[in-house]
Structure 1
């Protein structure tokens, strides 16, 4: 680690520099992540380039604080967000892992339903943020179909087309999907979303409580979060049953989820290559040009 950055972290924690210990751990594809031990206390830290992903951690800190402020579902406490000319650092509460019991999954489902019950007059968010390393534009928009088409699907479709990861025909089919969004998504109030809710972005603490991490927060359609839980698996049946009990799913939820997952699949296609294209094509096959 940069010695200057080491010193800045010590100053922010008000702890002698010599008492800090940094241990790399997994948990991030774009960040250096690890455990910081200081005076017998553990913290989680992330480090990244300050110019490559401007204010990445400040936006994450804002989202974590906002989720925590709802007092519905836990998120790690934000201790410090530090930016220098070259680097940015986020220091968070260390979460001790627990066991994902049946009760954990029921609590998680009911708490996510409660989080989605926090509404707003418009879709979007108060600032741009990130989903992974991809910037998300979040202008306040009156209807979901317009927001999802113009701020999520088509910008990624354009990127993938320019990178030769999608063909013109793929792009035309995605436009066809956007034309039919209002028929698939019945009007619902904007829901407060985690925004990137796959199995790597939540934890179970030592009290067997769900904890949300790495949010890509905005007010959107709740199917965004629910769809993402299915993309890579890892969520128990009790989670969905509890969610449905408190906030019933629409009859066509499976169709909604497939369309919602086009967004993260396009991101993965753009970042990681053509292995994600067959899943996109499978959904697009229902929308002939």
Structure 2
């Protein structure tokens, strides 16, 4: 039997949802879903994506959760997100957006949007009303009142039980991660949570037809705003994006030493990459560099929080 191409699978699942696709152009940039730019028989342009689950694996709520996250970012935080046209366990269909232009105006607008999101959604609890997804793996959003506990248990230590992470790191390295988590109150200033995008790297930034920034593919929760900044700071990005950080800090001033904290907050993303058991783009080595001061008891941590 001939194996169906990814485009054929996506077109078939669009048909199940009541959309008759004339063409499906494979989208680039994502690393988990099969996605495409779709033109329907009536000429309407859409964006759609699906997951290729292994045989026998139950359907997941990835797309209903993503849809809820997009709505939350828009309705509560005023962020621009695509309209969700259809969401099921099999497929997500969105209003079609455009590639972004990497110029200063785009990154300045993004800074205004993200600062407004963070400033307008301050909460007294970390987490969310439902668990989410980071890639193919569950994101534990259980409510917690202490930010250091939340970040340690739900965003760092939760990855240590994943088999690829167990295989990638020695017991000594895992102990170093545990020491780092125990030291978080001395490394990261106490600060309230806000609604965060949760997976804010450059591939999850697109644009409206007019060129304004649009957020896609969220992994939302109420967390430290600096966690969103760490994704942009530590992931590959164009040089012009430096403008984002300058404008964001003008609108929403950050605690002293925030740049030094970016690698600590990025550990969650690095460990997730390792846990997905693919080419980790050097993620495991980046983890080792960050935890190096904690590899021995009594090691000197890289700075302390500004209280």
1:268 counterpart = 2:276: no
Identify the residue that residue 262 of structure 2 maps to in structure 1. Answer: 257
Q: Is the 8 A contact 2:30 2:203 kept in 1?
A: no
Identify the residue that residue 303 of structure 2 maps to in structure 1. Answer: none
Q: What is the TM-score of this pair, normalised by structure 2? A: 0.84
Query: In 2, Cα distance between the equivalents of 1:7 and 1:114?
Result: 39
Q: What is the TM-score of this pair, normalised by structure 1? A: 0.89
Identify the residue that residue 5 of structure 1 maps to in structure 2. Answer: 13
Identify the residue that residue 192 of structure 1 maps to in structure 2. Answer: 195
Alignment of 1:1-289 (within 5 A): 1=8, 5-10=13-18, 13=19, 17=20, 20-38=22-40, 39-49=42-52, 51=57, 54-70=60-76, 72-83=78-89, 88-117=90-119, 118-159=121-162, 163-234=166-237, 236-271=241-276, 272=278, 275-287=282-294, 288-289=296-297
Deviations 1:129-172 (A, max 9, x none): 11111210101100111101111111112325763211111111
SS at match of 1:206: coil
Q: Is the 8 A contact 1:160 1:166 kept in 2?
A: no
SS at match of 1:164: helix
Q: Which runs of 5 or more residues in structure 1 are unaligned?
A: none
Distance 1:283 1:31, change over 3 A: same
Query: In 2, Cα distance between the equivalents of 1:227 and 1:217?
Result: 15
Cα RMSD of the aligned pairs, angstroms, is 2.1
Q: Is the 8 A contact 1:194 1:215 kept in 2?
A: yes
Q: Which runs of 5 or more residues in structure 2 are unaligned?
A: 1-7, 298-307
Aligned length: 279
